[in-house]
Amino acid sequence: MKFERVRRALAKRDGVVVACSGGCDSMLLSDLARQACGARLRLVHVNHHLRHDAVSDEALVRRWATQHGLPLQVVHLDPATLRAHRVGLEGAARAARYRALLDHTPAGWTLATGHQANDRLETLLLRLQQGAGLGGLAGPRPLLKRRGHPILRPMLHLWREEVEAEAARRALPFANDPSNDDLCFDRNRLRHAVIRPWLEEASTGPLARSLALVAEERRLLHELLAARLDEVMQPASGGWKLPRTALTAGPAALSAALLREALRRAPFGRPSAAFVRSVVARAARPGPFELHGEGLTVRASRDWIEWSSPEQSA
């Protein structure tokens, strides 16, 4: 029944592009989409070239797509560019991956990713460690829009163990990413030292309900902010702009939430809460200003707050 829910969610879409890394979750999602979507399915594999065995992951996806007659687009990224990026390797790889995936998602089609419940829990704990608010604690959303494309995560109700068991039952081939065991990364340390031992002993029912409640409240906030942005956000030269009054007419917390949502919509990644607060605080004081940080340039005139990034302007 849990996997039928995934198939139904995919079948409702006019067309689906699956982000297929070759890992267990993306291979299971690809197989479910194959059954649900038929000819309305494409696969996109992004090769970051950050691991020596990335070529074998690509080959696995190519073989499986050929075996089932599925259209596949492989995108190659430059590892040197990713390593040199100011936001760090993980952040740069994630941003570049989503740009590539959305670039290869046709108009009117949905991009589907294989995030599952463990990803949600890991994100929650990481964001707690970083001091995030409600938006960050909600973790991956089941459905959102980026650059006009819906992004669907239909497996968020499934735990990794369930995904692995179903992939094994279907005899699906999949790649194991050794970087997932590298304890240099915060997410991996949480996964191996905290989450796995805890989930082995704890009931996941209450935890799943808590995650669902946080996501529901985050969705409500997102809808309210999105409605406001639809009214006031406008394109500007090389970026976007908001009326200055949008960040000064209400409580600072509301202004910060609105600005965060605007920056994500543009999109310009995930600016830190500290940077967002600094923009809102400066906007509350009279006079023009210009702030630089986290790959963004924010300028303010008497009436407008404008922002852009070097990548967006290029």
Query: How much is the pLDDT for 196?
Result: 60
Q: Three-state DSSP class for 261?
A: helix
Tell me: the pLDDT tens digits for 118-157?
A: 887 777 776 666 665 665 666 677 888 888 899 999 999 8
Query: How much is the pLDDT for 314?
Result: 40
Which residue spans within the chain are E strands per DSSP? 16-19, 41-47, 72-76, 110-112, 143-146, 149-152, 234-236, 239-243, 289-293, 296-300, 304-308
Q: Is 278 exposed, middle or buried (0-12, 13-18, 19+ CB in 10 A)?
A: middle
As a whole number of angstroms, the distance between CA 213 and CA 202 comes to: 19
Q: Which tokens hold the place of 309?
A: 């990034």
As a whole number of angstroms, the distance between CA 127 and CA 252 comes to: 21
Q: Which of 73, 78, 63 is nearest to 19 (CA)?
A: 73
Low-confidence residues of the chain: pLDDT under 50: 200-203, 312-314
Domain 233-313 coded CATH 3.30.465.60? yes
Query: How much is the pLDDT for 312?
Result: 45
Query: How much is the pLDDT for 264?
Result: 79
**What is this structure's pTM?**
0.66
CATH topology of domain 2-206: Rossmann fold (3.40.50)
Q: List where CATH 3.30.465.60 sits in the chain.
A: 233-313
Task: Give the chain's length.
Answer: 314
Q: List where CATH 3.40.50.620 sits in the chain.
A: 2-206
